[in-house]
Amino acid sequence: MTSSTSDSVTKAIQRRYSRYILRQLAIIRVAQSLGLSLKEIREQLSTLPHNKAPSAAD
């Protein structure tokens, strides 16, 4: 199985996610807990760099 992203599937059928994807998921969960809608979260995530973990400056 191949993928066009840097995510991979291990032989034990475990998906390994890139650091930037895990960071985005963490941001989404915190934003949801603060009451932001998915639309608001999407708008904010669109300002972050793609394919890399955001820095404090982002």
User: What pairs with residue 56 in β-bridges?
Assistant: none
- DSSP codes joined into one string, 21-56: HHHHHHHHHHHHHTT--HHHHHHHHTTSPSSSPPPT
Do the beta carbons of residue 27 and residue 45 sit within 8 Å?
A: yes
Look at residue 11 in the predicted model and tell me its pLDDT.
72
Residue 27 lies in a domain: yes
CB crowding 30-43: b at 16 or more within 10 Å, else e: ebeeeeeeeeebee
Using one digit for the tens of pLDDT, what is the confidence trace for 8-51? Answer: 666 778 888 888 888 889 989 999 999 999 999 999 989 888 77
Count up the domains in the chain and report the number.
1
Residue 25 lies in a domain: yes
Residue-range definition of the domain harbouring residue 25: 8-45
